[in-house]
Amino acid sequence: MIKWIGGGVAVVVILAGIAGQDKSTQDKTGAASQTPLASVAPGGTEQPSLPEQQSRLLAVTAEYSDRFASASNELQQSVLRDERRSALVKALGSQRSVAGWRGKITRLETNTEGKAILSVRLSPNTDIGTWNNALSDIMDGTLIEKGTPLYTALLTMSVGDAVTVSGSFLPSDEDGMKETSLTIRGAMSDPEFLFHFNDISKQ
């Protein structure tokens, strides 16, 4: 009987030890799963998060691009554009000027006068950019003049470069901020918002 009790005690002790190890392992696993993982690019470098305003705007354009694709008639499409206008204005807040937004150059050319035409992709379906001709730009002044610091900065850049930009959107009654697409489908599915660039630098 004494041997049995001793063996029983030994078994209990061993089982308690195993249970303790399992709990310790679970605790470590749980702690690891709750630790936020940094965003890492393919090259192994950590990617900084987008500015809050940029994230809000891109969330709006992505949502309404999807909803527009599901619209069954032009009436629904028109209502969605009105709703998106309000959402875009809310996303930017009272300021149309932004700083430190990140994207990739998709167009870098000159017009007949040598002024720079620039487009920057903020997300797969959202671009910001200047007008592509002097006539359209008469009232807005988005084309980039030769001899300016901004033009000089662009001399060493190319399409595909990752950049950080600052500048301002232009107001619009139709979309909240001026958009350059010729059709409502383009404006809602793949908007390119007119942008007055103040600064640009490579990331």
Q: Is residue 43 included in any domain, yes or no?
A: no
Domain annotation covers residue 173: yes
| Percent over 90 (pLDDT), the chain | 74
In a domain, 18, yes or no: no
How do beta strands 126-129 and 192-202 pair?
Answer: parallel
In a domain, 3, yes or no: no
Rounded CA-CA distance 120/192 in Å is 9
Tell me the whole-structure pTM to 2 decimals: 0.76
Query: Would residue 34 count as lying in a domain?
Result: no
- CB-count exposure of residue 74 (10 Å: 0-12, 13-18, 19+): exposed
- Residue 89: give the domain boundaries: 52-202
> Does residue 121 sit within a domain?
yes
Per-residue pLDDT of the chain (203 residues; tens, 9 = 90+): 444 444 444 443 343 444 444 434 333 333 333 333 334 444 545 567 999 999 999 999 999 999 999 999 999 999 999 999 999 999 998 889 999 999 999 999 999 999 999 999 999 999 999 999 999 999 999 999 999 999 999 999 999 999 999 999 999 999 999 999 999 999 999 999 999 999 999 99
Domain membership flag for residue 172: yes
- Tell me the pLDDT tens digit for each residue of 90-143: 999 888 999 999 999 999 999 999 999 999 999 999 999 999 999 999 999 999
Helices 74-92 and 52-70: crossing angle, nearest 10°?
Answer: 170
Specify the number of domains making up the chain: 1
In a domain, 128, yes or no: yes
Give residue 38's pLDDT.
34
Distance of alpha carbon 162 from alpha carbon 166, whole angstroms: 14
